[in-house]
Amino acid sequence: MSKYFNLRGFLDCDYSDLDVIRDVVVQDRSTATRFGLTGEAAALYLDGWLYQKREINWIAHAFFGASMKSGGVDLIFDQLERIAKLIPELEGVFFVDDDEGCSSRRWDVANGRVSIH
């Protein structure tokens, strides 16, 4: 039986930054094999990204949530690292738990990097 992880979190950014985030996500649909994923699995996992459809005051949010195998977790972590470098002022937090309740991590996105806790 494969091990699955529950990954969920959000990024706070400017509204113009949502296009940058979308571009990173779209690029990764074609590079799934780097993480041991089929194109179909990567497309499924990347559909976990959700973006605000209209402006609500001054802060935009990009949300992610999906249950996935470890290759998907690696894919999203790689995306977050690239997004953080492209938008250093962006902030966010993500939570990763395995399906067996053995592992729990938090990823903090701030100051152009992703920190694991």
Over residues 30-40, the mean pLDDT reads 86
Residue 74 · residue 63 · CB < 8 Å: no
Q: What is the pLDDT of residues 44-103, one digit of tens each?
A: 999 999 999 899 999 999 999 999 999 999 999 999 999 999 999 999 999 999 877 777
Residue 61 · residue 11 · CB < 8 Å: yes
Question: pTM here?
Answer: 0.93
Extended strands (E) in 1-117: 5-13, 49-51, 60-68, 91-98, 104-110, 113-116
**pLDDT tier, 117 (very low <50, low <70, confident <90, very high otherwise):** very high
Tokens 């979308």, located at residue: 22
**pLDDT tier, 27 (very low <50, low <70, confident <90, very high otherwise):** confident
Spans of all domains in the chain: 5-116
What's the CATH number of domain 5-116, 2.60.40, 1.10.1200, 2.170.15, 3.30.70? 3.30.70
